[in-house]
Amino acid sequence: MILEEPVVVQGAYLSDILAQPDVIKGLFGRYANYRLNTHVVERLRSGKFRRIVLTGMGSSFYSLIPLHRALNANGFDSHWVETSELLHGFEVFFSHETLLIAVSQSGESAEISDLMAHAGDFGHVIGITNQRHSALGAKPDTLLLLHAGDESSVSCKTYVASLVVLQWLSGQLLGSDPGESVGEWIEVERVIRQYLEEWSNHVKEILPFISGVRNIFLTGRGNSLAAAGTGGLILKESTRQHAEGMSSAAFRHGPLEMIGGDVLVFIFDGDEKIIPLQQRLFSDLIGLGGRAHRIGAELKIPKVFHLPQVSDGARSVLEILPIQMLSLAIAARDGIEAGRFEHASKITRVA
């Protein structure tokens, strides 16, 4: 008996994934020569903002991790707070001494809509959204649009667009060279385009790794926590496969006990300083008889898990690509269309 190879159902979600390079390219033209309001930058650098609060929900929340780390590394008091929590128990942040940076791809989620009712309580609000005509699009002092176009269901175009715009914003706030950033993102767009041209082969490469898998963990450190968190979310959304993203250290605090034949762990190598820690986790998992695979620049085979050596900011975008391929492979394995919602909706309207 010859078993047929699983086939990817090519729906709107796949189309959105393949459109990501065009979205990034479009952002170059819109932001390469744009500058943030100098008044905001001056207030931040002069200490008139006591704190910066970064907020969002879902993948929008995770996309803020690289900016949060960059701000703190440069001596600013940055707080990364999920919007649902910010609304209940963080009243001290509702102050004219707070710079609020809010990300919501729809701009209409229940929590963001509630937060924008308090927009006037903050010193300045920077809103990042894909929808100009939304609660977040209407209320901020500074609006940064994602220009990702319509998105069918699972966040992919809007997620990578959020990372790119936030990287641009990081440069504006911290004073990095705009020309250098643009050159870097042009290279990233080229790399992503080349990667996605091989999407069908990437899916085929993944299929042997997921046979019998029912539990997936995505682990990372530093900026890679963005891909780990978003990856766990989109796998559940797009395939109804149980998946969880967390820090590599947190994985050792409990989930390690789950290691077995139906558990697969992906480990993002991240930047060079933490690769030895990630290698140790991988070795320990294999030593325990577990199933694991690394994702990073050191991996040459299979190609789906290989990412070229780039800066930390650029890597944050590239790291989500293998997880998108993983979602297509899981859906093909299970005979469903990836990204087709049955219970959820694109906009979460109940807090």
Q: Which amino acid is at 39?
A: H
Q: In terms of Cα–Cα distance, which of 304, 278, 311, 22 is closest to 149?
A: 22
User: Is 2 a residue whose pLDDT tops 50?
Assistant: no
Report the C-alpha gap between 317 and 268 in whole angstroms: 13
At residue 185 the predicted structure's pLDDT band, cuts being 50, 70 and 90, is confident
User: Is 39 a residue whose pLDDT tops 60?
Assistant: yes
Against a cut of 0.85, is the pTM above it?
Answer: yes
Model pLDDT, residue 313: 82
User: Is 20 a residue whose pLDDT tops 60?
Assistant: yes
345 vs 13, more confident:
13
Model pLDDT, residue 1: 35
Query: Which whole number is the average pLDDT over 30-45?
Result: 91
Domains of the chain listed by start with CATH number: 16-188 (3.40.50.10490), 198-334 (3.40.50.10490)
DSSP state, residue 175: T
Q: Quick one: 67 exposed, middle or buried, by C-beta within 10 A (0-12, 13-18, 19+)?
A: buried
Which residues have CB under 8 Å from 335's CB, separation 6+?
Answer: 6
User: Torsions phi, psi of 89, nearest 5?
Assistant: 115, -5
User: Is 177 a residue whose pLDDT tops 90?
Assistant: no
